Amino acid sequence: GEVVHVGFALNNRELVKQVERFDRKRVDHTNHSVALVNAIAMADGTAKKSRVDGARLRALRSLSSVEEHKRILKQLMKKRYSGTGQAFVTFNMAHDARQVERQLGRRLLCARLLSPRASEGMSVTRAPEPSDVLWENLQYNTKSQWGRQLVSTTLMLALSAAGVVLIFTSN
Nearest residue to 15 via CA among 82, 88, 89: 82
| Identity of the residue numbered 155 | L
pTM exceeds cut of 0.75: no
Give yes or no for a contact between 83 and 12, defined as CB atoms under 8 angstroms apart: no
Most confident of 36-40, 142-146, 154-158: 154-158
The predicted-structure confidence for 3-18, as pLDDT tens digits, reads as follows 777 777 788 888 888 9
Task: Give dist(CA 123, CA 157) in Å, integer.
Answer: 31
- pLDDT tens string 67-99: 999 999 999 999 998 877 777 777 888 788 778
